[in-house]
């Protein structure tokens, strides 16, 4: 008797049809993954998340070179030999955005170990692949208005220690930690997980960095606290300097956040999102937090290539 063919679920992902794969543009429908792809089994890939925004009649990719440089630094840690320079990868991303012509979008470069042997040292036997794909992405925290305000919950999952998995490296496998934390937060009705590190201090969200404001001073932590030091975090620190907002970069505890006047989170996907509550603790300003709002406005200008840093940060297509 012939075996019934399993029904393939319709992909929920709205990926643009063309992507850049190992140096050429390919159709999504022509792309196949070998069942013994090393990265599929062991998470041995690294990636980036980048956004392209409308800038007048053009599109502008935000901090493209910084993302591609971080991509190559991440790859090196896992001995993924990417045979392209940062400039070539920037061109690949620009081309993928242009050829798909979907307007504002999210850009995902990924490099990974393909099919080879089974050894856990893939650099010795598995080929390296590189791709850049794009897809539409509006607000990351869906269901919120223009200025999302997010409800965080303290995650029962601690942020993995950099002694085990270096937090500055954007490796696919590291994200199992974030998947556990975000899945728990969502299942309990929150928008995002707040992850503490092994010492019980605040690390970061499942996919974003954490800031707070107290007495007019802006606070955030750094890589010593097991965070991915986000490019958005760096952007916000630079904008705060331009706006003469005093800033302190230092470790902090959950108690510091709960005593704060304003809390917000930052990330390429999350952008600058105000935090409305952490578990049952509500912040007084809600969506009208003054320092958060100033930084959100400056960030909006920057990503749309309207700020004074446009020449430095924006790749216009
Ligand atoms: C764990 C984690 N922290 C922070 C960030 C923010 O990084 P970026 O601002 O570079 O997008 C991200 C997003 O990539 C992330 O996944």
pLDDT of residue 287: 60
pLDDT of residue 98: 97
Nearest to 114 by CA among 40, 19, 30, 169: 40
pLDDT of residue 5: 53
- Residues 189, 241: one domain? yes
Distance CA 231, CA 202 (A): 19
Counting ligand 1 atoms within 8 A of each CB, the residue from 230, 265, 271 with the most, and so the one to mutate, is 230
- Residues 131, 178: one domain? no
* Residue 208 in contact with ligand 1 by CB distance below 6 A: yes
pLDDT of residue 1: 45
Among candidate residues 135, 162, 185, the one where a domain is terminated: 135
- Residues 238, 209: one domain? yes
In a domain, 144, yes or no: no
Can you list the alpha helix ranges (DSSP code H) found in 142-258? 175-187, 231-242, 254-258
In a domain, 1, yes or no: no
Among candidate residues 104, 135, 166, the one where a domain is terminated: 135
In a domain, 184, yes or no: yes
* Residue 228 in contact with ligand 1 by CB distance below 6 A: yes
Nearest to 296 by CA among 253, 245, 251, 257: 245
Q: How far apart are the CA of 184 and the centre of ligand 1, in A?
A: 19
CB 46 within 8 A of CB 84: no
- Residues 99, 158: one domain? no
Q: What is the reported pTM?
A: 0.93
Entry field: residues in the chain: 317
In a domain, 142, yes or no: no
* Residue 50 in contact with ligand 1 by CB distance below 6 A: no
- Residues 86, 183: one domain? no
Among candidate residues 135, 161, 188, the one where a domain is terminated: 135
309-313 CB contacts, 8 Å cutoff, 24+ apart: 309/238, 310/60, 313/62, 313/63, 313/235
- Residues 99, 184: one domain? no
Which domain does 87 fall in, by range? Answer: 18-135
- Residues 153, 298: one domain? yes
* Residue 109 in contact with ligand 1 by CB distance below 6 A: no
- Residues 126, 208: one domain? no
Domain of 56, CATH number, reads 3.30.470.10
Distance CA 260, CA 154 (A): 16
pLDDT of residue 143: 43
pLDDT of residue 9: 52
In a domain, 309, yes or no: no
Q: How far apart are the CA of 7 and the centre of ligand 1, in A?
A: 35
- How many structural domains is the chain composed of? 2
- Residues 229, 283: one domain? yes
- Residues 76, 190: one domain? no
Instruction: Say which residues have a Cβ less than 8 Å from residue 292's Cβ, sequence separation at least 6.
Output: 213, 262, 264, 272, 274, 285
List, by residue number, the catalytic residues.
Answer: 170
* Residue 204 in contact with ligand 1 by CB distance below 6 A: yes
Domain of 253, CATH number, reads 3.20.10.10
In a domain, 49, yes or no: yes
In a domain, 11, yes or no: no
- Residues 22, 157: one domain? no
pLDDT of residue 30: 84
Per-position pLDDT tens, the chain of length 317? 455 555 555 555 667 889 999 999 999 888 889 999 999 999 999 999 999 999 999 999 999 999 999 999 999 999 999 999 999 999 999 999 999 999 999 999 999 999 999 999 999 999 999 999 999 987 777 544 555 589 999 999 999 999 999 999 999 999 999 999 999 999 999 999 999 999 999 999 999 999 999 999 999 999 999 999 999 999 999 999 999 999 999 999 999 999 999 999 999 999 999 999 999 999 987 667 999 999 999 999 999 999 999 999 999 99
In a domain, 47, yes or no: yes
Q: How far apart are the CA of 270 and the centre of ligand 1, in A?
A: 9
Q: How far apart are the CA of 72 and the centre of ligand 1, in A?
A: 16
Ligand 1 atom with minimal separation from the 233 CA: 9
According to DSSP, residue 309 is labeled T
Give the CA distances from residue 279 to residues 48, 200, 275, 282, in Å, rounded to whole numbers and listed in that order. 30, 17, 11, 8
- Residues 196, 246: one domain? yes
């Amino acid at each position: 008797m012939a075996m019934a063919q399993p029904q393939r679920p319709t992909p929920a992902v709205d990926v643009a049809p063309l992507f850049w794969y190992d140096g050429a543009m390919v159709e999504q429908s022509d792309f196949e993954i070998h069942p013994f792809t090393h990265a599929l089994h062991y998470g041995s890939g690294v990636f980036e998340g980048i956004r392209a925004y409308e800038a007048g009649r053009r599109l502008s990719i935000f901090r493209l070179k910084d993302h591609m440089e971080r991509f190559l630094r991440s790859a090196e840690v896992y001995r993924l030999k990417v045979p392209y320079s940062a400039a070539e990868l920037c061109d690949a991303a620009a081309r993928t955005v242009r050829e798909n012509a979907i307007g504002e979008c999210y850009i995902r470069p990924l490099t990974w170990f393909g099919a080879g042997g089974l050894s856990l040292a893939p650099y010795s036997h598995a080929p390296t692949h590189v791709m850049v794909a794009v897809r539409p992405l509006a607000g990351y925290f869906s269901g919120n208005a223009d200025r999302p305000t997010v409800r965080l919950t303290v995650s029962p999952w601690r942020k993995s220690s950099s002694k085990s998995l270096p937090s500055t490296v954007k490796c696919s496998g590291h994200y199992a930690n974030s998947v556990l934390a975000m899945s728990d937060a969502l299942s309990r009705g929150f928008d995002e997980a707040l992850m503490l590190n092994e010492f019980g201090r605040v690390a970061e969200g499942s996919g974003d960095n954490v800031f707070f404001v107290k007495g007019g001073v802006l606070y955030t932590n750094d890589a010593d606290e097991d965070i991915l030091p986000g490019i958005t975090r760096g952007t916000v620190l630079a904008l705060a300097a331009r706006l003469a907002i005093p800033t302190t970069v230092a470790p902090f505890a959950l108690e510091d956040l709960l005593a704060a006047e304003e809390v917000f989170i930052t990330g390429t996907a999350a952008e600058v999102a105000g935090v409305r509550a952490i578990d049952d603790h509500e912040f007084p300003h809600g969506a009208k937090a003054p320092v958060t709002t100033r930084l959100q406005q400056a960030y909006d200008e920057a990503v749309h290539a309207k700020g004074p840093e446009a020449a430095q940060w924006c790749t216009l297509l």
